[in-house]
Amino acid sequence: MIFEGKHILVTGGTGSLGRTIVGRMLTGELGQPRAITVFSRDEAKQHHMRLDYLHAGRATDDVIYHRVNETLRFRIGDIRDYDSVALAMRGVDIVINAAALKQVPTCEHFPYQAVQTNIVGAQNVVRAIRETAPQVEVVIGISTDKACKPINVMGMTKAIMERIFIEANMQCDRTRFTMVRYGNVIASRGSVVPLFAEQISNGGPVTITLKEMTRFLLSLDRAVDTVFAALQLGRAGETFVPKVEAARMVDLAKAMIGEQDIPIVFTGIRPGEKVHEIMVSEEERARTVERGDYYVIEPMLDNLHPMLPEKSCLDDEYSSAKVTLSIEDIQQLLEPILRKKAAVRFMA
């Protein structure tokens, strides 16, 4: 029970992933935390998140949150600011670094801002542990498939974040740094599903960049499962990659449109966008092992990785180009997620 009696800091805790991580931790499925601190710079999101949990004393999504007022804390701060990071990490046992600039076009237009959040922010976490918070046991860095063979600023900065955390295992003797890397989270803020849903509700058209484009798809809960698996099973410098399904974006649009007479329009590829995403590259394949529902990439640094297998568990790079979902499969995958969102809108 890795969270039992622990103080967990979630940077970027008001984002889609951060909120889901916090909700799952509060269920006590991996032990009852002593405290959970949500660290972010958006006071409005913190205010609304606090209000949501103040009214969560009843059963919500099949969960009753116990002692939420005593457990859940909110702290305004910026991952870019070392002093605020260092203060937030006092007495913390586990850090989940979900703070990020993650919109691909935004990072392309404002690359230095992505550097400040995704790279300098990660280094601030390492520095704070090294200088003021050596009691931290585990840090989980949230990465992305775009960090694999990166062609855009978002992926480049996340790839460097991975390397910063891997190398940190050599600086901070008492702390284990582990990564997770995954693709598009269905229905998270900024994902394509809410965009398609809005376009469909307005009568279309549904806009897709290229007909050939594919993406990995996973739910928020599956993303959190990956974080929890890395916390429990990960070793220093490893990167956990979930085994997930991949789909054509045009099939995703058709699955959401259904029988409605709504056109699909192709708009052309955006700055920094890939046609297919890769989660394990050809170069990483030799360092990849299989661990249950996950591929685990061992660190490149010689003094961190264990004895590697003679044969990789992958025959090729792990790419969304290998489509696994039909239109019917996508509809089944989306149905519980869209139903849940509709129920939330109705209750509101």
Active-site residue set: 146
Residue owning tokens 């229905």 = 187
Find, among 317, 321, 297, the residue nearest to 214 by Cα: 321
In total, the chain counts a number of residues equal to 348
Q: Is 184 helix (H, G, I), strand (E, B) or coil?
A: strand
Give the integer Cα–Cα distance in Å for 248 and 89: 42
What does DSSP assign to residue 299? P
Give the integer Cα–Cα distance in Å for 310 and 276: 28
By DSSP bridging, strand 294-297 and strand 288-291 are antiparallel
The number of beta carbons lying within 10 Å of the beta carbon of residue 345 is 8
Sign of CA dihedral 42, 46, 47, 49: positive
- Tokens of residue 117, six digits: 């959040």
The number of beta carbons lying within 10 Å of the beta carbon of residue 236 is 20
- Tokens of residue 240, six digits: 């956990």
Contact status, residue 111 vs residue 68, Cβ threshold 8 Å: no
